[in-house]
Amino acid sequence: MPLTALARPSTNKVPRSSLARWAIHVVHSPSWIVGIALLVRILYNVIRGCYRFPWHYWNGMEMAVLGRWMALGEGFKLGIDYPPSAWTAPLYPCVAALAFRVLGDLSHAAVFALLVFNSIFAALTCWTIYRIAQRVFNETTALWSAWIWALLPSSIYFSTHWIWETATSAFLLSLLLLITLKMEGDNRLLAWCGYGFLWGMLALTNTAAVSWLPFSGCWLAFRLHRQKRVYLLPVVAASVVFWATLTPWMVRNYVVFGTPLLRGDFGAELRAGNNPMAQGWWVSDYTYNNPVLLKQYKQMGEPAYVSTQGRLAREWIAQHPRRFLTVCFYRFLYFWGGLPHQGRDQVENYLFTLASLLSFAGLALAIRRRLHGIFLFASLLLFYPMTYYITFPTPRYRHAIEPEMLLLSVFLMASAWTAITAKLRPACKSDSLL
């Protein structure tokens, strides 16, 4: 079936069956796409029993662990005998704490509720994908992208196997891209205050995503400047609301640690990727999974421990600059191609690499065609991964920008199909004349 057939139903042969008309309506309805995406994830969760988390899974779920101890009244920490923490952004652990408090400590019901929470945001991402594509690309790209995301294995996986902010981050980042596009030329203070608040919510969910804030904000301000409209006051208002949204969390950290942290684990993450065993991925022996380092973490407290680990990482980088650059190059490859696998699992690397190549080719085509707003895509893909190039990548980190990557890939394939069919059509007509 041609790619355009999904986006534009034929007007020559209108189906007489009401069932056929209803099916066409479902296929072309963003609301139905969101509903089906959510249903698929919930059914997968129930059938596979994803909510029955084995006990050893919890060791790698820092956000769930933080939420658990909050629910038990121990505060924001990683364990009963651990010091206070600012290891991650606080919003998702608070959601986890609410689930554990209401539905039981690490209970199946609480886990099921959290996975449904993830699935709702993964499904809503179909809607943001659809609306972004309508504005930047076309209806064909919008429909195909939304349906692919609804059934995409990686989207289903991260929303049904991880008690983490991964699905929420992908939705919020795509929502901010959509709102940025829609706010072009809008200098209303209320709209800009809402924009600053939403960025604050993303910062409290996934701090790394804030690296894109200067580009999206400056793009909006520049568009206002070009239209000779007031932009300074809206930017100031959004900035005030943004920092006001972060203030309660930063005040808490100032009271607990003596410094207004937003997130306090960077030095430890830097050390986990830059050490004598560095190969481009996370090295467990240089984290608090190592009993010796865990003891230091508990004795020194989180800020001192993280500061020490950061200093060691910077010393290693200064002593091994060539090795550091090599490892950064590996991290670049692993971010876009996935962590290296062996045997049949290498298929995952091929798929990761293919998705990345298609998205960058789609970006190049969009730039060549000078599509409006493509700067936002380019800046997101270029600058969001920078943190992971110097620390370490995982597929979960890349998932936040996969909606935008999918849009660019589908745009490329839809454009290629249109070009191919346009070339074949004259040949088919000449053959029919013969």
pLDDT in tens, 94-115: 999 999 999 999 999 999 999 9
pLDDT in tens, 122-161: 999 999 999 999 999 999 999 999 999 999 999 999 999 9
* Same domain? 31 vs 160: yes
Instruction: Give the E-state strand segments of 174-290 in sequence order.
Output: none
pLDDT at position 406 over 50? yes
**Which of 165, 199, 219 is the last residue before a domain boundary?**
165
Whole-number Cα distances in Å, 28 to 147, 303, 416 = 10, 52, 22
pLDDT in tens, 178-211: 999 999 999 999 999 999 999 999 999 999 999 9
Task: Check residue 4 and give its pLDDT.
Answer: 46
Q: Which DSSP letter does residue 43 get?
A: H
Amino acid letter at 172? L
**Which of 131, 165, 199 is the last residue before a domain boundary?**
165
- Burial label for 342, CB within 10 Å (0-12, 13-18, 19+), is exposed
pLDDT in tens, 28-80: 899 999 999 999 999 999 999 999 988 777 877 899 999 999 999 999 999 98
Any idea how long the chain is?
434
* Same domain? 152 vs 232: no
Task: Check residue 2 and give its pLDDT.
Answer: 44
SS3 string of 124-173? Answer: HHHHHHHHHHHHHCCHHHHHHHHHHHHHCHHHHHHHHCCCCCHHHHHHHH
pLDDT at position 1 over 50? no
* Same domain? 118 vs 220: no
Whole-number Cα distances in Å, 380 to 56, 133, 176, 403, 404 = 35, 16, 11, 11, 9
Task: Check residue 25 and give its pLDDT.
Answer: 80
For the chain, how many structural domains are there in total? 2
Q: Which DSSP letter does residue 83 get?
A: P
Task: Check residue 16 and give its pLDDT.
Answer: 57
- Burial label for 371, CB within 10 Å (0-12, 13-18, 19+), is middle
State both tokens at 354: 């293919």
Residue 50 covered by a domain: yes
* Same domain? 124 vs 49: yes
* Same domain? 111 vs 156: yes
* Same domain? 95 vs 187: no
Query: CA-to-CA distance for 5 and 10, rounded, in angstroms?
Result: 7
* Same domain? 41 vs 160: yes
Q: What is the largest CA-CA distance in the chain?
A: 87
pLDDT in tens, 277-293: 999 999 999 998 899 99
pTM of the model: 0.92
The crossing angle, in degrees rounded to 10, of helices 346-368 and 321-337 is 90
Query: CA-to-CA distance for 273 and 312, rounded, in angstroms?
Result: 11
* Same domain? 158 vs 207: no
HSE-up (13 A, CA, CB side) for residue 377? 29
Q: What percent of the chain has pLDDT over 70?
A: 94
* Same domain? 191 vs 127: no
State both tokens at 187: 């200098």
Region of 343 on the Ramachandran plot (φ > 0 left; ψ -120 to 50 alpha; else beta): left
Domain that holds residue 158: 22-165
Q: What is residue 40's three-state secondary structure?
A: helix
Alpha helix locations (H) across 49-90?
Answer: 62-71
Amino acid letter at 355? A
**Mean pLDDT for the stretch of residues 383-401:** 95
Q: Which residue, among 411, 413, 423, 405, has the nearest Cα to 173 in the 3D structure? A: 405
CA 298 remoteness from chain centre: 31
- The residue behind tokens 């129930």 is 46
Residue 64 covered by a domain: yes
| Confidence category of residue 268, pLDDT binned at 50, 70, 90 | very high
Phi, psi of 152 (to 5 degrees): -70, 125
CA 41 remoteness from chain centre: 18
Query: CA-to-CA distance for 16 and 23, rounded, in angstroms?
Result: 12
- The residue behind tokens 């894109």 is 212
Q: Which residue, among 152, 163, 153, has the nearest Cα to 51 in the 3D structure? A: 163
Query: CA-to-CA distance for 106 and 377, rounded, in angstroms?
Result: 39
pLDDT in tens, 6-27: 455 544 554 557 888 888 888 8
Going 70 to 75 to 76 to 82, the CA torsion angle's sign is: negative
- Of the chain, the end-to-end C-alpha distance in Å amounts to 26
Q: What percent of the chain has pLDDT over 90?
A: 83
Residue 408 covered by a domain: no
* Same domain? 84 vs 205: no
HSE-up (13 A, CA, CB side) for residue 46? 7
* Same domain? 207 vs 249: yes
Q: Which residue, among 397, 68, 88, has the nearest Cα to 261 in the 3D structure? A: 88
Higher pLDDT, 5 or 365: 365
